[in-house]
Homo-oligomer: A and B are copies of this chain.
Amino acid sequence: MDIIVLRPGVTAKELRHIVKKLESKGFKANISKGTQRTVIGVIGDTSKITEEESNAFEAMPGVEKVHRIIQPFKLASRDFKAENTLIKIGENIIGGKKIHIIAGPCAIENMPTLLKIAQVVKKAGATFIRGGAFKPRTSPYSFQGLGEEGMKILAEAKAKTGLPVVTELMDPRDIDVILKYSDVIQIGTRNMQNFRLLQEVGSHSKPILLKRGLSATIKELLMAAEYIMAQGNNKVILCERGIRTFETATRNTLDLSAVPVLKRLSHLPVIVDPSHGVGKWDLVAPMAKAAIAAGADGLVIEVHTNPEDALSDGEQSLRPEKFYTLMKELKAVAKAVGRKI
């Protein structure tokens, strides 16, 4: 059911017109005249009304506002599926009691560096290796990634360590190479509403790590998940990674309350990327611990053996020794909230 609030002074003709429009779409109108406003309750399965149709009602003469009662996402909602979704990747299950750590450099730079980092994160207890071969960069003059060459390096790291691979797809034209080498496909924050890309990955069966857009609401994040799921791929992992606010002391504002909110609204697993969320390595550790305390199912953490020479995001990458220390602390926090790493 939706609610249409009418403007004061709405005419009988306008009212009839609105009712007729509702009926033409198969709904019934329940009119309540209050002391200050007349309100129409829309009876029927209003979940079928798209955002656009709903907005179009706001264009009708006499309408002040439409309140929607039902969330616009369905497949992604807990209303639709009450129990948590578990996503199996190799021997790992995301969304269960075990918290997974996805670690690695921002960009893949060369074979020796990646292999070294892969060994470090494996030893520390991470269960996935990450690294970008196709890099979204705000400057056209920045390093844009190694492309397929980088994917091969990732594959080698997987072969050496057994860690499944998470990497980003930026362009639907790269889907084949990404499918070939990755275990989880990341949709980056700047592409969260690249709807063609969402449809593309929705039509395959690889698990998707979907990062929240820089200024996306939680509802929009779930609508992006819905895009993927509507194509048939239900293996979506949601990722909070910081939103854009007025605060400039951190690169973004990590919205940890998104974790329990998403858990309430959706059955999908939720992980957190504190490295991008705060953008400074010395803030990553406290926010990683906080994310687990808030109920996250996993973390994405940037690790680099030599941050000052990293071709991307050096300022937010942890050195190996810091990462070892952090993993120990994370295990203690996970235990305190009844989880394990």
Which residues on A are within 8 Å of B, measured CB to CB?
Answer: 1, 3, 5, 8, 21, 30, 32, 34-37, 39, 41, 43-47, 50-52, 55-60, 67, 69-70, 72, 79, 136-143, 170-173, 190-191, 193-196, 198-199, 214-215, 217-220, 223, 226-227, 230-231, 243-250, 253-261, 264-265, 277-278, 280-283, 286-287, 289-295, 307-317, 329, 332-333, 335-337
Cα separation A107 to B5 with both chains bound (whole Å):
27
A3-B39, A171-B196, A172-B173 given. 10 additional CB < 8 A pairs? A3-B3, A3-B69, A35-B47, A36-B47, A37-B69, A51-B138, A67-B69, A138-B223, A140-B227, A243-B245
Known: A36-B79, A139-B51. A308 touches B56 (CB 8 A): yes
Taken together, the copies of this chain in the complex come to 4
**Which residues in B have their C-beta under 8 angstroms from that of A35?**
44-45, 47
A314 to B21 CA separation, bound complex (whole angstroms):
14
A220 CB, nearest partner CB in chain B, Å: 6
Can you report 17 residue pairs joining A to B where beta carbons are below 8 Å apart? A30-B32, A39-B69, A50-B139, A51-B142, A52-B137, A52-B314, A136-B193, A170-B195, A172-B173, A190-B194, A218-B247, A254-B255, A254-B257, A257-B287, A260-B286, A261-B283, A293-B333
A82 → chain B, closest Cβ, in Å? Answer: 9
- A140–B253 touching, CB < 8 Å: no
Residue on B with the closest CB to A289? B293
User: Roughly how many angstroms separate A244 CA and B70 CA in the complex, as a whole number?
Assistant: 23
Measured CB to CB, the nearest residue on chain B to A304 is: B59
